Amino acid sequence: MSHEDDEPYWSTTPPEDHGSYPDWARGVEDAPPPAAGAAAEDQDVLEQILEMLTQVSATQQSQQQGLNALNEAVQNQQSAIEAQQKEMDDLQASLAAAPDGPFAWAELRGLEREMLWRRLYDWVTWLEDRYLRNLSVSRQGIPALHADWYRHPVAVEMLTALMVAHFAAYREKAAPPSFALVDWHERALWPTLARMEALGLFKREDEEKDWDGPEVRNTRHDSSRFYGWLDADVQAHLEDRESN
């Protein structure tokens, strides 16, 4: 093979006939240069895409925060429901233990009775420190509670009623603002204290000494006479009903 066979099919100057160019070279030299604004337009498109991606990311973060807040609210609601359920269970257990009510002294036994005693004692101590100690000693109609007030059954019942009314007026989950607090003072606190003073439950001369309770009146309890009368009364009314 001659040297001429090793040279390309054009020697030094490409042929004018572009049709004889290889496919990869055809039209390269004649291609126009890229427009000056094309790169800028591409950059603008890229920036717009980046801005859109940033907005999408921000939207996703906002939605995630909303979902987190919603999840927290659901958990709080679930906790509140569980707490209410526990309160209902405790109330049901309390009613089962004391069917006549948690403040019915005559029916309370054991732990329920002890809990009410402690609750009442603490509340009366607060009442003395908050109100009674700050009133004038010459003020008429306001009793000075004896240190052993818990030995007086009438005082215990009246103070229990006053405490329950106070709980109802000052309960944490009370309705919108009302006159409940004023009513407790004007219809419960002062009338109860005045009534206790009028009844003479505590004698002032007994304040500085140990006290075993009030003097008890002599009363007669004749159960046989009562039940005999009860049977006769029921029978009489039954006969009247049948005759009519």
User: Could you tell me if 91 and 159 lie in one domain?
Assistant: no
Helix (H/G/I), strand (E/B), else coil: 40: helix
For the chain, how many structural domains are there in total? 2
User: Could you tell me if 109 and 202 lie in one domain?
Assistant: yes
User: Could you tell me if 119 and 85 lie in one domain?
Assistant: no
202-214: per-residue pLDDT in tens? 876 555 566 666 6
Is residue 70 a part of any domain in this protein? yes
User: Could you tell me if 88 and 129 lie in one domain?
Assistant: no
Taking the whole predicted model, whether its pTM rises above 0.75 is answered as: no
User: Could you tell me if 82 and 111 lie in one domain?
Assistant: no
CA-based end-to-end distance of the chain: 149
Is residue 127 a part of any domain in this protein? yes
Last residue of a domain, one of 97, 114, 131: 97
Is residue 48 a part of any domain in this protein? yes
Q: Which domain holds residue 93?
A: 44-97
Q: What is the C-alpha separation between 194 and 190, in angstroms, rounded?
A: 6
Is residue 144 a part of any domain in this protein? yes
Q: Provide the CA 168 distance to its chain's centre, in angstroms.
A: 17
DSSP assignment letter at 34: P
Question: Sorting pLDDT into bands at 50, 70 and 90, what band is 93?
Answer: low
Residue 95 or 78, more confident = 78
Is residue 236 a part of any domain in this protein? no
User: Could you tell me if 77 and 110 lie in one domain?
Assistant: no
User: Could you tell me if 126 and 184 lie in one domain?
Assistant: yes
26-61: per-residue pLDDT in tens? 555 555 555 556 677 777 888 888 888 888 888 888
